Amino acid sequence: MLLALFLFAFLPQAGAAAAPLPRPLEPLRFLVGDWPATGGGAPGEASGGFAFESRLQDRVLVRTNHADYPAAAGRPASRHEDLMILYASDAGAIRADYYDSEGHVIRYTGEVPAPNHLTLVSEASDHAPRFRLSYSLGEDGVLSGRFEVAPPGKPDAFAPYLSWTAKRSRSGSR
């Protein structure tokens, strides 16, 4: 009973108006929507897409992603899924936590270097790779994404690992 009273005192009252997207997340609104990948369709190339949704009364953005890989060169068909939650830290910085179906977890710090651009970078380490994930929305409505990896001990030596483009679907635009 005491715990319930304690929690009630700190939770917003029912019926309270939804808070606007926290100021640090507002520049990320360009990501919201459903984004089918627009790959070239070459044999062996992955197909898939992702979606960014505003959740928890606009307090976080949630990205879900999937990529389907056809069987090729003796490798069976496979599917990759991941989830990333973007939020504003108590200090107002953009943060993101990434989880995938292969067991990877990446913690990112983000920045918006220009309108319609987002760059997320993991912490540097002498013992583990460092990751950089970037999104950029072109004037043509095409969203470009890039995932780069830097080797352990060389935190700024990023090399391309994956890149993709996507176009927001009409049904998913928000």
Which pLDDT value is given to residue 72? 86
Q: Is residue 174 in some structural domain?
A: no
User: What domain count does the chain have?
Assistant: 1
The residue that leads in pLDDT, 11 or 111, is 111
* Per-residue pLDDT, 174: 41
Q: Using an 8 Å Cβ cutoff, are 25 and 160 in contact?
A: no
Question: What is the reported pLDDT for 108?
Answer: 98
The residue written with tokens 């108006």 in the block is 17
- We report the CATH number of the domain holding residue 109 as 2.40.128.20
Q: How confident is the model at residue 6 (pLDDT cuts 50, 70, 90)?
A: very low
1 located within any domain: no
Give the closest residue to 51 by CA, choosing from 163, 174, 142, 164: 174
Q: Is position 98 within any domain? A: yes
Q: Phi and psi at residue 120, in whole multiples of 5°?
A: -115, 135
- Whether residue 85 is contained in a domain is answered as yes
For 13-66, write each residue's pLDDT tens digit: 444 444 555 577 999 999 999 999 876 555 567 789 999 999 998 899 999 999
Higher pLDDT, 161 or 11: 161
Residue 61: inside a domain: yes
The answer to whether position 15 is within a domain reads no
Which two tokens mark 143?
A: 């969203």
Q: Please report whether residue 9 resides in a domain.
A: no
Structural domain that includes position 110 = 20-167
Cβ(92)–Cβ(24) under 8 Å? Answer: yes
